[in-house]
Amino acid sequence: MNRITGIMIVGVGGQGVILASELLCEAAMRMGYDVKKSEVHGMAQRGGSVVSNVRFGEKVYSPLISKGEADILLSFEQLETLRWLDYIKPEGKIIVNMQKIMPMAVAIGQGEYPGDVFGILKRKTDKIYRVDGLGIATKAGNVKAVNVAVIGALSNYLDIPEGIWKEVIENRVPPKTLKINLTAFEMGRNYGQE
């Protein structure tokens, strides 16, 4: 049976969501899967809500995940997790980077950042995994490595060997930052297991 894995990666423009989804696609392709990925860009999307759909399996038609279809919601920012909650399956997993980024309306006091984000998430599923991407990236040596740290956390929940992830990272990140990114990946991968 043709089982398709759907992973929705969400966050805020500038956080590296797109590169993270590229790494995931490359890894899935190296596993021999048919892969499709879709997101929208334009207006550089700085500071805006960003979502990338990744689907892989033996044969994939649609590049989009419909509501209630995602196996994993990989979120780079707490509030954005809520925005896309409808898209995960009842038995789906949620992996959340603990970062909070205030939308403009909230920053200037014209809106409210939701209070108990994890309480709300729990209404949906118990399979919630937290990762301190920013903390890891800072320790690894560059705050920009948040996306790779988060991918490290994701890697625990997919049947893709560690070696493939590392190959993909070596292939995709600038050589100057390779060491930092590999460290961030490993720390992300070990984070949930502490």
Partner 1 sequence: MKALLSGNEAIARGAYENGVTVATAYPGTPSTEILENMVNYKDKIYCEWAPNEKVAMEVAIGASFGGARTLVAMKHVGLNVAADPFLTLSYTGVKGGMVVVSADDPSMHSSQNEQDNRHYARLAKVPMLEPSDSQEAKDFVGIALDISEQFDTPVLLRTTTRISHSKTVVELKDRREKPEPAEFERAPQKFVMIPGHARLRHIEVEERLKKLEEYANNAEINRIEWGDAKIGVITSGISYQYVKEAMPEASVLKLGLTYPLAKDLIRSFAEKVDTLFVVEELDPFLEEQIKAMGIKVTGKDKLPLIYEFDQGVIRERLLGEKRKEDNILSDVSLPPRPPVLCPGCPHRGVFYVLKKLKLVVTGDIGCYTLGVVPPLSAMDTTVCMGASVGMAFGAELALKDKIKHKVVGVIGDSTFIHSGITGLIDIVYNKGASTIIILDNRITGMTGHQDNPATGKTLMGERTHQLDLGEVARAVGVKNVRVIDPYDLEETERVIREEVAKDEPSVIITNRPCVLIVKDKEWDKYQVDQELCRSCGMCYKVGCSAIYKENGKAKIDTLFCTGCGVCQQVCKFNAIKKVGEEE
Q: Which residues bind partner 1 (CB under 8 A)?
A: 12-13, 22, 25-26, 29, 34-49, 60-64, 66-69, 79-80, 82-83, 85-86, 90, 102-114, 120, 123-124, 143
Distance of closest approach, residue 85 Cβ to partner 1, in angstroms: 6
Pick 27 or 186: Cβ nearer partner 1:
27
Distance of closest approach, residue 111 Cβ to partner 1, in angstroms: 4
Break the chain down into helix, strand, coil percent, rounded to 5. Answer: 45, 20, 35
Distance of closest approach, residue 94 Cβ to partner 1, in angstroms: 12
Distance of closest approach, residue 88 Cβ to partner 1, in angstroms: 10
Classify residue 126 by its DSSP letter. S
Pick 109 or 193: Cβ nearer partner 1:
109
Strands 49-57 and 5-12: antiparallel
**Burial of residue 13, with CB atoms counted within 10 A of its CB: 0-12 exposed, 13-18 middle, 19 or more buried:** middle
Judge contact between 141 and 183, C-beta under 8 A.
yes
How far from chain centre, in Å, is Cα 13?
13
Classify residue 176 by its DSSP letter. G
Which contiguous run of DSSP H or E holds residue 153? helix 146-155
Pick 22 or 186: Cβ nearer partner 1:
22
Pick 124 or 186: Cβ nearer partner 1:
124
Pick 148 or 168: Cβ nearer partner 1:
168
Q: Residue 42 — φ and ψ, nearest 5°?
A: 130, 155
Which contiguous run of DSSP H or E holds residue 128? strand 128-131
Distance of closest approach, residue 28 Cβ to partner 1, in angstroms: 9
Look up residue 35 and give its two tokens. 């892969």
Pick 80 or 186: Cβ nearer partner 1:
80
Distance of closest approach, residue 90 Cβ to partner 1, in angstroms: 8
